[in-house]
Amino acid sequence: MTDKRERPALDSEEIKKDFLILGREVHPGRSLVYLDSAATSQKPEAVIKAMDDYYWRHNANIHRGIHTLAEEATALYEGARAKLAAFINAPQPEQIIFTRNTTEAINLVAQSWARVTLKAGDRILLTEMEHHSNLVPWQILAAEHNLELDFIPVTPDGLLDLDAYRVLLKHAPKLVAFTHMSNVLGTINPARTIIQLAREAGAITLVDGAQAVPHMPVDLTALGADFYAFSAHKMCGPTGIGVLYGRRDLLEAMPPYMGGGDMIKSVSLRSFRPNELPHKFEAGTPSIAEGVGLGAAVDYLSALGMEAVAEHEHQLITYAMERLSQIPGLRVVGPDLAHKGGVASFTMEEAHPHDVAQILDFEGVAVRAGHHCAQPLHDKFNIPSTTRASFYLYNTPEDVDRLVDGIYRVKETFG
């Protein structure tokens, strides 16, 4: 079968050399095959070096200092914001708010925009395939402010039911919040259509792009989302920094999320005036080195080209689905390849997902087992958990073969 495989769009064998961790032997005689990028991606040497260089040569606090190091650090940090704005085609860098992660970005919208905008009886429309990060903040707010939550159903083949969505929009939701790509099913949702229909119904949109931005071209100007959230650590960048993009007029009208240094223009004992965008949402000393690392990650991905990354992953998931479909007793949940990103979540008749993951680890293959912070989605499919293999730019067809060989070892073990 190996000689019949289509070669991926990227030279992943060369790319792997940029990721020193991928050269590890995790068990005797077992080199690492990393298939858990939906949880967090590995980091190329260029990102790690950029962060090291910041600490070795430029370490200082930003924005307020006038000495050389402070000015250099500020330029690096704000330069990363500008790179990122260009990467996702945001209209202005000031519309990029740095947060800790996708979760904090969504909570910022919930606590700043929604808390002051929504009133009792207002409706929020979510989907059944959301990560907990795009469920729990709205559940908390709904309980506090007597809001109504509605959900776009997921069809048996892992797609959003757009006919049901159109019906739900007749209830005039104030907010439609949905994932661009499911972290469990791999479903790539028709974001532009969902956003356009929401706008026609008078609703604001928030998109969880944590699984989309690392894996495909994302053009926020063309997409038209009012808010869009994602994390650096899933796109070859460091942990500890995420992104909220917002429509400028909405961000201007929103009150600060946190109070402290740098988010103010002036302060007296009894009042303050907030700073301009983006600083009014970035209280305190930010994750400066992480911002520098994110900028380096954007450079790395831009050099590869996101179209090539997306095509590479499509070729890998096509090959993976072919191989997995030949394994008796294995079921992959989610849509067909026309709507699927590089994620394969599956169940096996013989073994629990945690047992599958543990045996695969003995074979050197790193996957994820559990409900992947999407428990309601697993309930929808009447399965408590799945084993998830997720692919990225450094994976190869040989990695798929190692996965499949490991699954057959599971079958041998459990008879």
- In tens, the pLDDT along 150-160 reads 999 999 999 99
What is the pLDDT, as a whole number, of residue 290? 98
What is the pLDDT, as a whole number, of residue 64? 84
- Determine the straight-line distance between the first and last CA of the chain, rounded to whole angstroms: 25
Average pLDDT, integer, range 166-195 = 98
User: Under a CB-based contact definition with an 8 Å cutoff, are residues 393 and 61 in contact?
Assistant: no
pLDDT above 60 (res 293): yes
**Is-catalytic flag, 236?**
no
- 1 vs 317 pLDDT, higher one: 317
**What DSSP letter does each residue of 172-218 carry, written as one string?**
--SEEEEESB-TTT-BB--HHHHHHHHHHTT-EEEEE-TTTTTTS--
φ, ψ for residue 122 (rounded to 5)?
-65, 155
φ, ψ for residue 320 (rounded to 5)?
-60, -45
Q: What is the pTM of this model?
A: 0.96
Mean pLDDT of the chain: 96
Q: Of residues 48, 308, 373, 383, which has the active-site annotation?
A: 373
- Asked if CATH classification 3.30.1550.10 holds for the domain at 2-44+306-414, the reply, yes or no, is no
- Measured CA to CA, the distance from residue 27 to residue 215 in angstroms comes to 29
What is the pLDDT, as a whole number, of residue 271? 94
Average pLDDT, integer, range 371-386 = 96
Q: What is the pLDDT confidence band of residue 8, given thresholds at 50, 70 and 90? A: low
Long-range contacts from 67-74, C-beta under 8 angstroms, 24+ separation: 73/288
Average pLDDT, integer, range 175-198 = 98
Tens-digit pLDDT profile for residues 300-339: 999 999 999 999 999 999 999 999 999 999 999 999 999 9
Class of the 48-303 domain? alpha beta
What is the pLDDT, as a whole number, of residue 193? 98
Average pLDDT, integer, range 290-303 = 98
What is the pLDDT, as a whole number, of residue 9? 75
Can you give the residue ranges of every domain in the chain?
Answer: 2-44+306-414, 48-303
User: Under a CB-based contact definition with an 8 Å cutoff, are residues 258 and 100 in contact?
Assistant: no
Q: Which are the contacts of 122, defined by CB distance < 8 A and separation ≥ 6?
A: 147, 148, 173, 174
What is the pLDDT, as a whole number, of residue 348? 96
What is the pLDDT, as a whole number, of residue 7? 58
What is the pLDDT, as a whole number, of residue 325? 97
pLDDT above 60 (res 286): yes
Tens-digit pLDDT profile for residues 96-122: 999 999 999 999 999 999 999 999 999
User: Under a CB-based contact definition with an 8 Å cutoff, are residues 356 and 385 in contact?
Assistant: no
pLDDT above 50 (res 137): yes
Tens-digit pLDDT profile for residues 220-234: 999 999 999 999 999
Q: Which are the contacts of 249, defined by CB distance < 8 A and separation ≥ 6?
A: none
pLDDT above 70 (res 393): yes
What is the pLDDT, as a whole number, of residue 1? 40
What is the pLDDT, as a whole number, of residue 6? 58
What is the pLDDT, as a whole number, of residue 4? 46
